[in-house]
Amino acid sequence: MSIENYFNQFAARVASPYDEALRRKARGQKVIGWLLSDVPEELIHAAGAFPVGILGSNSNIRLADTHLQVWACSLMRSSLEMGLRGDLDFLDGILIPHTCDTTRMMVGIWRKTCKTPYIENFLMPRQVNRPSARKYLTEELARLKTNLEQQTGEVITNEKLHASIRIFNENRKLLRQMFEIHTSHPELITTREAYTIIKAGMYMDKENHSQLLRDLIKEMEPILAKATVQASSKVRLVISGGVWEPPEIMDLIEESGGVVVGDDLLTGNRYLGPDAVEDGDPLEALADRQLSKIPFGGYDNQEYERRRFLVDLVHKSKAQGMIFLHLKFCEPENYDYNDMREALDLVGIPNMRIETEFTNSTLGQIRTRLEAFIEMIGGDLFE
């Protein structure tokens, strides 16, 4: 199979995100959705259910606006719209992490308006560096474990959870390997392709996704063996925000002379995060993984503040600038923005902010701004 065919397979999964879930449902397997990428999918997997991401859609929002304020972010509004339209009636359950005021409201709204049988909060600690956070989170994971066992009829043994952790760790390892190929050889894996591969893993069976990744990387090995890392004329950029929507922005960045070499996105490297320890108490391992994730707008760590993390990320990835990619009305990102911008300005890191929505994004204006920004910091618009 050609390398392009592998990319096409991942893109097809993203284009039809719930085909796999519907096949699993037809075979009698429980399907549990999750909103945002802080939900521990390993628990769902260990319960014998199929975990699948609910990540909004680009269709018009009508029904959701009667239940959720129009100034809530379009990720939450469009996800609720899918539930209200019946697009998610195949779900046996959905887990919603409490990361902001909007997600805090979503469980109650979803329970009253949608047909999903099992709807539950994932209540994460707000102060992740407090000594009590680990104990609290371990107990919260134990609560979810009990709930999932009741919903699926499957006992989540330590052996099953350890097996799931190993499967998910292997998938993250392969995704990191793929992203390293992208950053060192962007001519082989473009920005859009790299993030499409990551997103495909949110809809696919993890073992199938890992096997497709292995095959892709193996197919690339002869090319990589002959290739040399050369200085690229493209401007190296870091993206900071929640999700990369609309996906066409990745194309615009590349067309304007840029390449994304790092991020803190929920649909990017924050989804990969650290691995969970594969021995000992598996719930404690999942708690430690969650507490060790890179900071984002909803949660910060006073011992390693987000502003310092972003500056370090730019330097570590040898980026030349940062783009803040914010969903309109995303409260955590809006509150954080001025502090993050000032931290970058203080050390001379060029940065710009793009505000988008799942619907009605003005790509023409975004293209013009990207071209000007990338040209300003050294991009060649005519390569």
**Helix axes of 131-152 and 282-291: crossing angle, nearest 10 degrees:** 120
The model carries a pTM of 0.94
Distance CA 77, CA 55 (A): 10
* pLDDT (mean) for 68-86: 93
State the Cα–Cα distance between residues 179 and 160, nearest whole angstrom.
29
Mean pLDDT, all residues of the chain = 92
User: What whole-number distance in Å separates Cα of residue 322 and Cα of residue 240?
Assistant: 7
DSSP secondary structure letter of residue 275: P
User: What residue segments make up the domains of the chain, in order of their start?
Assistant: 17-158
pLDDT computed for residue 229 by the predictor = 62
The number of beta carbons lying within 10 Å of the beta carbon of residue 230 is 9
Whether residue 189 has pLDDT greater than 80: yes
> By C-alpha distance, which of 251, 230, 268, 263 is closest to 371?
251
Q: Of 262, 260, 337, nearest to 296 (Cα)?
A: 337
pLDDT of amino acid 381: 38
Read off the pLDDT of residues 278-311 as tens digits, 9 standing for 90 and up.
999 999 999 999 999 988 877 777 778 899 999 9
Amino acid present at 141: L
Strand order in the sheet with 118-122: 50-54, 31-35, 93-97, 118-122
Share of the chain above pLDDT 90, in %: 79
Within 8 A by CB and 6+ apart from 140, the residues are: 122, 123, 124
**Nearest C-alpha neighbor of 193 from the set 251, 246, 238:** 251
Q: Is 177 left (phi over 0), alpha (psi -120 to 50) or beta?
A: alpha
pLDDT at 380 over 60: no
Is domain 17-158 in CATH 3.30.559.10, yes or no?
A: no
Render pLDDT for 113-153 as a digit per residue (tens, 0 to 9). 999 999 999 998 878 888 899 999 999 999 999 999 999 99
Highest mean pLDDT among 157-161, 219-223, 326-330, 357-361: 157-161
- Tell me the C-alpha distance between 253 and 285, whole Å: 37
